[in-house]
Amino acid sequence: MKKTVVLLMSVVVSLSLLALPVSCGTKAPAKRTIVDSIGRSVKVPSEVNRVACLVGPSYDRTFMLGEKDKIAMVGFAQSKWAELLNPELKKIPVATNAKSPNIEELLKRNIDVVFTWADPEPLQAMTNAGIPALAALTSESALTTAENFIKGFKEETNLYAKVLGKDAESRAKKYFKYLDDVVERVTSVTKKLSESEKPRVYYVRGPELLSTHGKCSNTRWYVEMAGGNLVSKGLETLIPSVSIEQVIAWDPDIILMGRLNSTEPIMKDPAWSRIKAVKNDKVYVNPNGVFYWDYSSEGPLFLMYLAKTFHPDKFKDIDMVKEVKNFYSQFYDYELTTEQANKILQYKDP
């Protein structure tokens, strides 16, 4: 009889334990849904502590939003300025393949979220492995007007902020106010220009001299807002290749050189000597800081730089050294010297 009672009590205890909530000691991490740049709904941890910044501007965006300590992997080696501003960057591992990351590598690093491209296969592979992966670059097809470009730029930045948390979202609001002020400061002047007052601009996307940017690129809208006319704006692809004969036919007034730290490849090449910009010594190297200005958080600086380059008489009030120092202080938490600001403007390393 005693054995029967003990057995029954044991069964009752077992059933009672089974009735306890599953969350007792095994509670799953809270999650929230983020919609990425191509409209995918992705569940990410409510608290994100380790991110992989694989796509182009993702390191820069995360750094600008004040969340450098959450960066656990990068897609490629960053600039010397990025290393100066964040000494810990040298310790952060670089992915063996940024566009198609190694799943085991991401799991080993305990990555909470991956900021990546919109390529379907890598996105699916990460999703299958249970790794939240977000397409985090605005599609060029959305960049149909200057207004849409600014809207997309903000949405892209806001995607990072939502993932990274409330402090990042607060920082993003401050950044958007700054961006809006710069856009208004520049376009309030340039919108009054006649077409004949706008210089024709050829943009070297770089590093190849004959790679440029097409109609749905950040560069097109920066150039137009700054009061210029991008000669390649009729080309469909984002990074088209052109011939020297085409550039000669365009005969731009100004040439801007992205991702190259010297004008010599053009100025010393006889093939370019017939072009108006070369004849008039109006070939300029793009500034370069934490990331390339045509895609980075430093875009507002790029807009002011272009406006002053295109229309120096109309933007005498813009002091680019002062503007660069102010931006780095506000959004990169770093106090540049005047010498350092000048180096950034001249695409020189620290």
CATH number at residue 325: 3.40.50.1980
Residue at 292 is within a domain: yes
Quote the Cα angle for 177-182-186, to 5°. 150
How high is the pLDDT of residue 27? 57
Whether residue 259 lies inside any domain: the answer is yes
Residues 324 and 204 in one domain: yes
Asked whether residue 163 falls in the same domain as residue 221, the answer is no
One domain, residues 91 and 163? yes
Domain assignment present for 19 = no
**Is residue 119 domain-shared with residue 224, that is, in the same domain?**
no
Instruction: Name the CA radius of gyration of the chain, rounded.
Output: 25
Residue 284 DSSP SS3: strand
Domain shared by 199 and 316, yes or no: yes
Q: Are residues 121 and 162 in the same domain?
A: yes
90 found inside a domain: yes
pLDDT recorded at residue 23: 43
Q: Is 172 part of any domain?
A: no
Domain boundary among 167, 202, 224: 167
User: Which letter does DSSP use for residue 140 in this model?
Assistant: G
User: Is 6 among the domain residues?
Assistant: no
Residue type, 318: I
Instruction: Compute how many other C-beta atoms are within 10 angstroms of the C-beta atom of residue 9.
Output: 10
* Residue 24, in any domain of the structure: no
Q: Are 335 and 213 contained in the same domain?
A: yes
Neighbours of 283 (CB within 10 A): 21
Which residues, including other chains, have CB under 8 Å from residue 29's CB and lie 6 or more apart?
A: 45, 46, 47
pLDDT per residue of the chain (350 residues) written in tens, 0 to 9: 444 444 434 433 343 433 344 444 545 568 999 999 999 999 999 999 999 999 999 999 999 999 999 999 999 999 999 999 999 999 999 999 999 999 999 999 999 999 999 999 999 999 999 999 999 998 877 789 999 999 999 999 999 999 999 999 999 999 999 999 999 999 999 999 999 999 999 999 999 999 999 998 999 999 999 999 999 999 998 999 999 999 999 999 999 999 999 999 999 999 999 999 999 999 999 999 999 999 999 999 999 999 999 999 999 999 999 999 999 999 999 999 999 999 999 999 99
- Are 148 and 216 contained in the same domain? no
Structural domains of the chain, count: 2
pTM (two decimals)? 0.90
Q: At 135, is the secondary structure helix, strand, or coil?
A: strand
Which residue range is the domain that position 322 belongs to?
Answer: 194-345
What's the pLDDT at 180? 98
The helix (run of H) or strand (run of E) holding residue 125 is helix 120-128
Do 65 and 207 belong to one domain? no
Residue 280 lies in a domain: yes
Residues 325 and 238 in one domain: yes
Task: Say yes or no: 203 and 135 in one domain.
Answer: no
User: What angle (nearest 5°) sits at the alpha carbon of residue 97, between those of residues 92 and 99?
Assistant: 110
Q: Domain check: are 49 and 156 in the same one?
A: yes
pLDDT at 126: 97
pLDDT given for residue 32 in this prediction: 96
Q: What is the DSSP string of 57-123?
A: THHHHHHHTT-GGGEEEESS---HHHHHH-GGGGGSPBPS-SSS--HHHHHHTT-SEEEE---HHHH
